[in-house]
Chain A
Amino acid sequence: MVRDRNLAVDIIIYGVLTLIAILCVAPILNTLALSFSSRIAAVSGKVFFLPVDFNLASYREVLKDHAFFRAFGVSVERVVLGAAINFIISVLMAYPLSKSRRIFPGRNIYMWLLIFTMLFQGGLIPLYMTINTYGLLDSIWALVLPTAVPVFNIILLVNFFKGIPKELEEAASIDGAGPWKILFYVYIPTSVPVLATITLFSVVFHWDSFFDGMIYMQHPENWPLQTYIQQVVVNANQMNNVTDPSEIKRLMAVSNQTLNAAKVFLSMIPILVFYPFLQRYFVSGIVLGSVKE
Chain B
Amino acid sequence: MRKQILVLLLCISILLALAACGPEGKSTTNNDTDKNTASAPGPFGKYDDTISFTIGRQGVAGNTLPKGDTLESNDYLKYVENKLNIKIKYDFSVADADAYKQKVNLAIASGNIPDVMIVNEQQFKQLEKAGMLEDLSSAYSKYASPLIKGYYDSFNGRVLDTVKKTSGGKLDALPDTNIFGQQQLLWLRKDWLDKLNLKVPKTTDELITVLKAFKTQDPDGNNKNDTLGLLGDPHVFQMGGFFTFDPIFNAYHAYPDSWIKDSSGSIVNGSIQPEMKQALAKLQEMYKQGLIDKEFVTKNFDKDAGLVADGQAGAVFAPWSGAWMLSDAVKNNKKAEWIPVLAPLDGQNKYNVMLAAPSGSYLVVKKGYAHPDAVVKALNVEYQGLRLKDPKAADIYKDLGVSWLNWPLNLQLNNENDVPDSAKIYDKAIQTGDTSDLTPSQKQTFQSIKNNIKSPKSSMADYGNWLAYYVGAKKLSSSKLNRIEPAFTGTTKTMDSRGSNLTKLENETFLKIITGQASVDSFDSFVKEWKKIGGDTITKEVNTAVK
- A residues apposed to B, CB below 8 Å: 39-40, 43-44, 66, 105-106, 109, 125, 128-129, 132-135, 138, 214-215, 218-221, 231, 235-241, 243-255, 257
Note all chain B residues with C-beta closer than 8 A to A214.
99, 102
Give the top 7 A-B pairs by smallest Cβ distance, nearest first.
A239-B301, A218-B92, A254-B62, A245-B321, A255-B302, A249-B324, A243-B240
Quick check: B91 and A218 within 8 Å, CB to CB? Answer: yes
Residue A220 contacts which of B93, B306, B309, B403 (CB distance < 8 angstroms)? B93
Quick check: B95 and A231 within 8 Å, CB to CB? Answer: yes
Q: How far is the CA of A105 from the CA of B2 in the complex (A)?
A: 11
Quick check: B324 and A238 within 8 Å, CB to CB? Answer: no
A81: min CB distance to chain B, Å: 20
> Which of B22-30, B263-271, B501-509 lies at the interface with chain A?
B22-30
Nearest neighbor of A254 in chain B, beta-carbon distance: B62
Quick check: A132 and B302 within 8 Å, CB to CB? Answer: no
Quick check: A244 and B412 within 8 Å, CB to CB? Answer: yes
Quick check: B324 and A245 within 8 Å, CB to CB? Answer: yes
Which range contains the number of B residues in contact with the other chain? 35 or more
Note all chain B residues with C-beta closer than 8 A to A128.
106, 109-110
Within 8 A of A (CB), among B136-190: 178, 182
Nearest neighbor of B64 in chain A, beta-carbon distance: A250
Within 8 A of A (CB), among B67-107: 67, 70, 72, 90-99, 102-103, 106
Residue A240 contacts which of B241, B303, B404 (CB distance < 8 angstroms)? B241
Quick check: B92 and A219 within 8 Å, CB to CB? Answer: yes
Tell whether A250 pairs with B62 under 8 Å between CB atoms, given A125-B106, A128-B109.
yes
Q: How far is the CA of A248 from the CA of B472 in the complex (A)?
A: 15
Q: How far is the CA of A250 from the CA of B63 in the complex (A)?
A: 9
Q: How far is the CA of A138 from the CA of B240 in the complex (A)?
A: 35
Note all chain A residues with C-beta closer than 8 A to B112.
132
Count of chain A to chain B residue pairs whose CB atoms are closer than 8 Å in the complex: 130
Tell whether A132 pairs with B110 under 8 Å between CB atoms, given A247-B405, A251-B62.
yes
Q: How far is the CA of A263 from the CA of B134 in the complex (A)?
A: 44
Nearest neighbor of A136 in chain B, beta-carbon distance: B22
Tell whether A219 pairs with B412 under 8 Å between CB atoms, given A43-B310, A125-B109, A129-B110.
no
Q: How far is the CA of A243 from the CA of B97 in the complex (A)?
A: 13
B184: min CB distance to chain A, Å: 11
Residue B325 contacts which of A138, A215, A252 (CB distance < 8 angstroms)? A252
Quick check: A248 and B325 within 8 Å, CB to CB? Answer: yes
Nearest neighbor of B67 in chain A, beta-carbon distance: A66
Note all chain A residues with C-beta closer than 8 A to B94.
220, 231
- B residues apposed to A, CB below 8 Å: 1, 4, 19, 22-23, 25-26, 59, 61-62, 64, 67, 70, 72, 90-99, 102-103, 106, 109-110, 112, 178, 182, 226, 233, 235, 238-242, 300-303, 305-307, 309-310, 312, 319-322, 324-325, 328, 332, 401, 403-405, 412, 464, 468
Tell whether A236 pairs with B22 under 8 Å between CB atoms, given A125-B109, A214-B99, A250-B64.
no
Tell whether A43 pairs with B324 under 8 Å between CB atoms, given A133-B23, A133-B25.
no
Note all chain B residues with C-beta closer than 8 A to A109.
4
Quick check: B95 and A220 within 8 Å, CB to CB? Answer: yes
Note all chain A residues with C-beta closer than 8 A to B109.
125, 128-129
B101: min CB distance to chain A, Å: 10
B190: min CB distance to chain A, Å: 21
A148: min CB distance to chain B, Å: 15
Q: Given A235-B96, A238-B97, 16 more contacts at CB 8 Å? A: A43-B303, A43-B309, A128-B110, A132-B110, A135-B22, A135-B26, A218-B103, A219-B92, A236-B300, A239-B301, A240-B241, A240-B242, A243-B182, A249-B464, A252-B305, A255-B305
Most buried by A among B23, B239, B305, B324: B324
Quick check: A237 and B25 within 8 Å, CB to CB? Answer: no
| 25 A–B contacts from the bound complex (CB under 8 Å) | A43-B303, A43-B306, A105-B1, A105-B4, A132-B110, A135-B26, A215-B106, A219-B92, A220-B93, A220-B95, A231-B96, A235-B99, A237-B96, A237-B300, A238-B95, A240-B301, A241-B97, A244-B412, A245-B320, A246-B404, A247-B404, A247-B405, A249-B468, A250-B62, A251-B61
Quick check: B102 and A248 within 8 Å, CB to CB? Answer: no
Nearest neighbor of A248 in chain B, beta-carbon distance: B321
Note all chain B residues with C-beta closer than 8 A to A135.
22, 25-26
